[in-house]
Amino acid sequence: MLNPDTPQLFTVLGAGGTIGRAVADYLRCRAQFVQTVDRAALPAFLAARRPAGHVIDCIGLTGDFRSRPLDTAEAHVGVTARCLAEVDFTSFLILSSTRVYTNAPATHEDSALVCRPTDPSDLYNLTKLAGEALCLTDPRPTVRVVRLSNVYAADPGADTFLGQVLHEGRTTGRVVFGQAPGSEKDYVSLDDVVRLLPDIAVSGRSRLYNLASGRNITHGQIAATLHARCGWNTRFMADAAELRFPPIEITRLNAEFGTPLRNLLQDLATLSAGQEVPCSRSTRQAVA
């Protein structure tokens, strides 16, 4: 666990992105030593070979991975390989995704996973899993992987489902859902992510963790909450497809770091207004 009285060195890769920037801000608020590395600075960082302390690798592609397959492979596999080979670290933690469970019969960290190389959507999963394999076959016990769920914050991002819903509601006062009300997935708050990632990096007893809320929320629940709390007119397109992601198992996370995680439905009122989600003082700047 982090101790402000004995600060440690952290290196955050991908610090120009939402999660990387928030993690770096959180660590600074906790009086840790932090160096940040964005994509442009990555070659110089690798060439320097200076001690990096606890490395948290937040480099990755999300919504645009289908149109940038080579960049996706480089971010998820190439960068990971070079860091493992060239960086002088105390611990190394990469961010993967719970999307890898899309076709799986179970969502425990040790579950067998199914991917189809011929499916363009599985390019993301395959490259994430290749990066995971590099880490989990590395003999050093402080090399770890976190499979991260769908992250929400004050600004979820225009390329996410939740970001599109909130933008439409704020702009027009109504939301038309393109997926059926029974569609569901797991959401985890940025506040919880930035709090837990450093603890996992420093003191995790396992090599692989799911970081999720552990509960699925349906589009119908989101629509009902936005209507009740914001007065928005919410409806669903006729014959919309139902997309259901499996609930994410978080027994391992709870056993080691068992603090309660935030609930998206309770935070929707502030998110819909574009306001900061209430959080601890140490993460207030990061979430904003």
State pLDDT tens for residues 138-166.
999 999 999 999 999 877 776 788 989 99
Residues 220-233: tens digit of each pLDDT: 999 999 999 999 99
Torsion of CA 63, 65, 68, 74, to 10 degrees: 130
Please give the Cα distance from 211 to 96 (Å, whole number).
10
Residues 239-273: tens digit of each pLDDT: 999 999 999 999 999 999 987 788 999 998 788 76
> What integer pLDDT is reported at residue 264 of this predicted model?
94
> What integer pLDDT is reported at residue 69 of this predicted model?
84
> What integer pLDDT is reported at residue 278 of this predicted model?
39
- Mean pLDDT for the chain? 89
Please give the Cα distance from 215 to 102 (Å, whole number).
16
> What integer pLDDT is reported at residue 286 of this predicted model?
29
> What integer pLDDT is reported at residue 274 of this predicted model?
60
Q: Domains in the chain and their CATH numbers?
A: 9-151+187-214+246-261+280-287 (3.40.50.720)
Residue showing tokens 């030593």: 33
Can you tell me the mean pLDDT for 69-97? Answer: 94
pLDDT reading at 12 higher than 60: yes
Can you tell me the mean pLDDT for 168-189? Answer: 95
Residue 52 burial (10 A CB sphere; 0-12, 13-18, 19+): buried
Q: In angstroms, how far is CA 116 from the centroid of its own chain?
A: 23
Q: Which amino acid type is present at position 100?
A: V
Phi, psi values for residue 81, rounded to 5°: -60, -45
Please give the Cα distance from 209 to 84 (Å, whole number).
19
CA atoms within 13 A on the CB side of 35: 13
